Amino acid sequence: MKSVALRIRPLSDAEQEEAATIVAHRVDEQMVVLMDPMEDPDDILRANRSREKTYMFDVAFDYLASQEEVYRATTKGLIEGLISGYNATVFAYGPTGCGKTYTMLGTDKEPGIYVRTLNDLFRAIEETSDDMLYSVSMSYLEIYNEMIRDLLNPSSGFLDLREDAKGVIQVAGITEVSTINAQEIMELLMKGNKQRTQEPTAANQTSSRSHAVLQVAVKQQSRCRDVLQEVRFARLFMIDLAGSERAAQTQNRGQRLKEGAHINRSLLALGNCINALSDKNGTKYVNYRDSKLTRLLKDSLGGNSRTVMIAHISPASVAFEESRNTLTYADRAKSIRTRVKKNLINVSYHIAQYTNIISDLRSEIQRLKKKIADQASRQLNSDRADIRHVQGKVLSTLKHMNHICQQKLFPNFCIFTLILLTSGGPGPLQPPESGGDGPVEGAAPGCLSPTDGDQEKPDGAGKQQHGDPDRHLQTPANHCRVSVEDLYVCLIQL
């Protein structure tokens, strides 16, 4: 088998009331130790005999493990192979009341392997649906008292098993419902569970009286049809087995006792198949016909399937015998080797179908063109939105900068304008004579006293300088003379 896992549930209320001790311990991620509660540690005659029996599995869980942890370690890895065309099987095995249905079905708050597997399967299909065309169908049945009943169509009566020319076991007349999403298949699953046979016993208040088998078929082919096309198909079985029972423990009578006998008989046939398949010499005959359960699981046990077995036990001392038997079968199942192969068929279309193929190809081309156009349109709209966003940021920044410039430069601009209006004189700026009157009070910085304007100038100097307005400015108010360079210095100082 691909892997064998073990899950140990916590002590039940009934076991705690009986003051049962814990005899099954998870040592690490793979090792489990089972202690015999009947062995006396002080028995001298058995001093050399160990009270402990150690078992190794691919993975082991105790009562602290979550549903998500169990799913990821056992089943999640099968989905990729299923998409690629490999059959897969997951089944829960163990005594009654050990948590098999909880692991497979779970609750609304803690969904089990059924729900998690189907969600991930449809998620994987959606990720590759652009290139591949998928067809998914499901069926749901139970084996009750060695009779097969359709849980999706209970009125159909009991069904028979048939074996096709390739040796594949089929259920004749089973209802197969095509689905397109996980939600629809969940609704069908809930519908089927309501039809499943469950009755209370002394060992389990919600005891499953039948084996429930959920089958999901996945068919895959390229969207681009061709004259010769490869088609992949695979089947996923998820099985919640009924638990083995002891009449003394369950206190069954009448119909419940008959149900328990059929359950034990089918589980015994399963155990015999496991024993034969795990034979190291490979010489034992595997009798799948002892039970409808083993016939249905023929491929899952020793054929074309990746199979995961999740064994369940109670840690209580009162369930020691059942736990030991379960651990023994689970340990033997590790030796089973299946012959896994990819399920492929090459479909060669007749020339009469070429017109349909061409039509499909044209439709596919149109679909791809529309997809490309939609993507280009979305990208263009996105680019336009980005451009508008950047433009808005630029305009906002410019407005902010303009506002700052107006606040900081406007006073300087006013002073500079005032200087232009109040300064003047035909000559360059001259420092005042020592002992002179100095600058006129209230004059602009750098302006000299009006008396400086009365100094003698060479002939024609006034005209020459007066003819250069960019060099000197003059105002008749106070006859101050200011050069452009001096005004620039004044502006910088401000």
Q: Which residues are known binding-site members for ATP?
A: 94-101
How far is it, in rounded angstroms, from Cα 103 to Cα 474?
A: 102
Question: In angstroms, what CA-CA distances link 288 with 140, 262, 451?
Answer: 21, 16, 131
Burial of 40: CB neighbours in 10 Å, binned 0-12, 13-18, 19+: exposed
Residue showing tokens 């900068």: 401
Question: In angstroms, what CA-CA distances link 169 with 35, 165, 305, 398?
Answer: 41, 10, 13, 78
Handedness of CA 444, 449, 450, 452 (dihedral sign): negative
DSSP letter string, 66-118: -HHHHHHHHTTTHHHHHHHT--EEEEEE-BTTSSHHHHHTB-SSSB-HHHHHH
Which segments of 452-483 does DSSP mark as H helices, in order?
461-466
Burial of 217: CB neighbours in 10 Å, binned 0-12, 13-18, 19+: middle
Nearest Cα to Cα of residue 67 among 125, 108, 23 = 108
**How big is the CA angle at 298 (ends 294 and 302), to the nearest 5 degrees?**
120
473 neighbors 420 (Cβ within 8 angstroms): yes
How far is it, in rounded angstroms, from Cα 291 to Cα 266?
A: 5
How far from each other are the two terminal CA atoms of the chain, in whole angstroms? Answer: 90
**How big is the CA angle at 333 (ends 327 and 336), to the nearest 5 degrees?**
165
Nearest Cα to Cα of residue 23 among 35, 8, 7 = 35
Tokens matching residue 138: 């499901």
**Binding site members:** 94-101
